[in-house]
Chains A and B, each alone.
Chain A
């Protein structure tokens, strides 16, 4: 038996498919189009299956955080719980509000999930398993995020509900704002690897060192802005239950709501994956280069850890106020991001020719120094705030 199948199934299947299709008398171009289409279907299917399992993961993890057991009735460890959930969503009544803008209302959830699925086109699951190696992949990531923004505003507007509109406004304002530190954070691996392509970034880490060691601050920046971009707690103002009920998907029921929900979970997982690709070596791991399937496994594990980090934050930190959130972005994250970008660019261009260790230590040191300065700065401003709060208040003279 040929062992290659187990190390690199995609390649083998692709070769077999091409061979078969051309054997049927199709031209090479048509055959490759069909093979690519099949690949896309396969990728989306895999992502959606993963998505289903994420429902279980999410429910289980949140339960453990809250000291509960979580789903445990259907299947071992409640593993089959998502399926009843899905069935429930599908058979629920599908309500479209009276004043809703029908077409837009129905398109919004599709675009929402679509914008997440688009992201999977560039995710490098392994050295040979990926949708496409785009040379502007990081920019593509931002572009797909823009589609997500669009879906939210479409949903919020078309629902003809003031809570939905308010929630959409909040979410869009947050997403547009946090896009800036996120793009800056994305530029840091770009500078270090010298490429916008995710495959190149991964390869740079395979041949060198994981970028988390070169730019821990960049990773942190990316994590924070990704959480805000996802609209997850502590930045989940779009669905602040106490004030605007449920945000932009307040009017959605049944599977339309399900699409939003699935999109959100998959989005979080995908950002965990991007965190892994850009700072934790992607599919890099022992033997991963020889056995791409193993690389895919490493990738999923790393992405899971990233996803778990995001969940950890979500279920630990309370929601913050919208003005605080925007101030946090504009007055802290964005300046920090630009400072980090400048420092990284300078340090990289100064140190890159000095060899491995000076480069690694220099980059790390520059990050630590910047982080230290930031903390000192924060401490000073916090002290100032405390002083002004504690200062004796002027007493009214009669």
Chain B
């Protein structure tokens, strides 16, 4: 077992444990904080996968923006600071079975695939080259500039839309 495997197992444990807490804990603020922990673990995995840019973006976007917005939303939609009563609805056993079935199904499908044991190849040029390629890929008309632009339009639309929806219309 080498260092990267240790890191993977630790962060995977963090991700899964936090994710379980996200879906089970009663306190929503805690759930949001657990979500942050889980996403932080995902960021570590990105770093292990040598996608450093994504790792940092994950922290910026998810922890810096999305999670904070969740916490704000939780605080805004609450008369008291704590929830009372059960946090899960009555059909949770069914849902649990479905969740397990999903996992099992994906597991079965994956296990029939022969590329599972694949090991990562060395990246030519290292992480700097990757970063450059990513930048070029996002802005080159031969690659993904159109999806990139569409994403920016989507964000603009979401910005305007959410302001409009949340605005207090007298």
Chain A directly contacts chain B within the complex, with at least one CB pair under 8 Å: yes
A residues touching B (Cβ–Cβ < 8 Å)? 29, 33, 101, 104, 134-136, 139-140, 142-143, 145-147, 149-150, 153-154, 157, 160, 165, 169, 172, 176, 179, 196
What's the Cα separation between A54 and B60 when bound, in Å?
Answer: 29
- Near A by CB (< 8 A), chain B positions 44-67 give 52-53, 56-57, 59-60, 63-65, 67
Decide yes or no: A139 and B127 within 8 Å by CB, A153-B68, A176-B68 being known contacts: no
Is A140 in contact with B56, judged by CB distance below 8 angstroms? Answer: yes
Is B64 in contact with A149, judged by CB distance below 8 angstroms? Answer: yes
Determine the interface band of chain B, counting residues with CB < 8 A from chain A.
20 to 34
B residues touching A (Cβ–Cβ < 8 Å)? 3, 27, 29-30, 33, 36, 52-53, 56-57, 59-60, 63-65, 67-68, 71-72, 75, 81, 127-128, 131
Is B33 in contact with A104, judged by CB distance below 8 angstroms? Answer: yes
Decide yes or no: A157 and B131 within 8 Å by CB, A29-B3, A147-B63 being known contacts: no
Decide yes or no: A172 and B60 within 8 Å by CB, A104-B33, A134-B52, A157-B29 being known contacts: no
What's the Cα separation between A176 and B65 when bound, in Å?
Answer: 8
Contact of B128 among A135, A139, A145 (CB under 8 A): A135
What's the Cα separation between A176 and B59 when bound, in Å?
Answer: 14
Please, which residues of chain A bring their CB within 8 A of the CB of B52? 134-136
What's the Cα separation between A33 and B6 when bound, in Å?
Answer: 14
A–B Cβ pairs within 8 angstroms, 18 of them:
A101-B29, A101-B30, A104-B33, A136-B53, A136-B131, A139-B53, A139-B56, A139-B57, A142-B60, A142-B64, A143-B60, A146-B64, A146-B65, A153-B68, A154-B33, A176-B65, A176-B68, A179-B64
What's the Cα separation between A66 and B128 when bound, in Å?
Answer: 50
Contact of A146 among B60, B81, B128 (CB under 8 A): B60
Shortest distance between the CB of A384 and any CB in chain B (Å):
27
Please, which residues of chain A bring their CB within 8 A of the CB of B53? 136, 139
What's the Cα separation between A368 and B71 when bound, in Å?
Answer: 42
Q: Which A-B residue pairs are the 4 nearest by beta carbons?
A: A146-B64, A143-B59, A139-B56, A143-B60
Please, which residues of chain A bring their CB within 8 A of the CB of B81? 160
Closest to B63 in A: A146
* New contact pairs (6) apart from A136-B52, A136-B56, A179-B64, CB-CB < 8 Å: A135-B128, A136-B53, A136-B131, A149-B68, A165-B75, A169-B72
Closest to A147 in B: B63
Shortest distance between the CB of B35 and any CB in chain A (Å):
11
Is B71 in contact with A153, judged by CB distance below 8 angstroms? Answer: yes
Shortest distance between the CB of A348 and any CB in chain B (Å):
16
Decide yes or no: A135 and B131 within 8 Å by CB, A149-B68, A157-B71 being known contacts: yes
Closest to B132 in A: A135
Please, which residues of chain B bring their CB within 8 A of the CB of A196? 131
Please, which residues of chain B bring their CB within 8 A of the CB of A179? 64
Shortest distance between the CB of A329 and any CB in chain B (Å):
16
What's the Cα separation between A154 and B74 when bound, in Å?
Answer: 13
Please, which residues of chain B bring their CB within 8 A of the CB of A140? 56
Is A150 in contact with B36, judged by CB distance below 8 angstroms? Answer: yes
Closest to A144 in B: B59
Is B68 in contact with A172, judged by CB distance below 8 angstroms? Answer: yes
Contact of B60 among A139, A165, A169 (CB under 8 A): A139
Is A143 in contact with B56, judged by CB distance below 8 angstroms? Answer: yes
Shortest distance between the CB of B110 and any CB in chain A (Å):
31
Decide yes or no: A150 and B63 within 8 Å by CB, A135-B127, A157-B71 being known contacts: yes
Please, which residues of chain A bring their CB within 8 A of the CB of B27? 101
Please, which residues of chain A bring their CB within 8 A of the CB of B75? 157, 165
Closest to A153 in B: B71
Closest to B53 in A: A136
Closest to A99 in B: B81
Please, which residues of chain B bring their CB within 8 A of the CB of A160? 81
What's the Cα separation between A254 and B91 when bound, in Å?
Answer: 48
Shortest distance between the CB of A158 and any CB in chain B (Å):
8
Shortest distance between the CB of A200 and any CB in chain B (Å):
10
Shortest distance between the CB of B162 and any CB in chain A (Å):
14
Is B68 in contact with A150, judged by CB distance below 8 angstroms? Answer: yes
Please, which residues of chain A bring their CB within 8 A of the CB of B3? 29, 33
Closest to B130 in A: A135
Please, which residues of chain B bring their CB within 8 A of the CB of A143? 56, 59-60, 63-64
Closest to A29 in B: B3
What's the Cα separation between A335 and B57 when bound, in Å?
Answer: 23
Please, which residues of chain A bring their CB within 8 A of the CB of B29? 101, 104, 157
What's the Cα separation between A323 and B128 when bound, in Å?
Answer: 42
What's the Cα separation between A33 and B131 when bound, in Å?
Answer: 26
Please, which residues of chain A bring their CB within 8 A of the CB of B68? 146, 149-150, 153, 172, 176
